[in-house]
Amino acid sequence: MIGYFPAGYPTVEDSIEALVAMAKNGCDVLEIGVPYSDPVMDGVVIQKATEQALANGFKLTQLFDVIKGVRAEVDTPLLVMSYWNPVMRFGERKFAESLRAAGAQGMITPDLIPDEAGTWLEVSSDLDLDRVFLVAPSSSVERVQANTNSSRGFAYAVSTMGITGERTELDRLAREVVEAVRDCSDVPACVGVGVSTADQVREVNSYSHGAIVGTAIIKAYEDAGLDGLVGKTRELAGGLG
């Protein structure tokens, strides 16, 4: 199970505490989100959380403080999820070097395609960082091949068209996306967008290499603080038993 939580939400120290708790209560990989002013893929819950982080003064340089803070407590693999504009402004090589120095294993890039990722492909290979590209139900065969074969670590299989958020039923499209990845590569495929229950975690893991959960965990934190987050993480991880 891969658990998503935004850096700096609601504060830097709070996000470190939340991510550590997620790792200690069932998440096998942590996905640390970078708050961004134009989160085109994110649903309302994640948008609200990242907006709060930005309103509370979160700066991109603090991402590396969050990574260091989490890494000091747990050895769980850490992936950063970032839209590409902040990375470009920071400097792609400098960002990658800072990721590695802080203790992260790589990055998920939802709005970047390999055709436009020359520097990132080069520097991630140089620094042995994972790079995760997205594959969607709408992706052409050529796009599936390009994004999957350029991924290191795993490919992110988007379960349905649209933005992130809880859904009562995962689309059949999720299986088709995973099958498309398998048809062209041995790279693992993990499914995200809409996974929100232990049953869905179990279902997704029956045909893919992992389930990615964000909205359900953040909503639990929003509703009941750290105790709510811990309870929801344990509940979701129950789907792996």
Rg (CA), the chain: 16
Q: Count the Cβ atoms, other than its own, within 10 Å of residue 65.
A: 17
Helix H or strand E encompassing 79:
strand 78-81
- Whether 126 is a known active-site residue: answer no
Of the residues 13, 17, 31, 75, only one is catalytic, namely 31
Do the beta carbons of residue 108 and residue 153 sit within 8 Å? no
Dist. CA 94–CA 108, nearest whole Å: 17
Name the region of 168 (left: φ>0; alpha: ψ -120 to 50; beta: rest): alpha
Q: How far apart are the first and last CA of the chain?
A: 11
Active site residue 31: yes
What is the C-alpha to C-alpha distance for residues 92 and 217, in angstroms, rounded to an integer? Answer: 30
Q: How many CB atoms lie within 10 A of CB 47?
A: 18
Which residues form the catalytic set?
31, 42
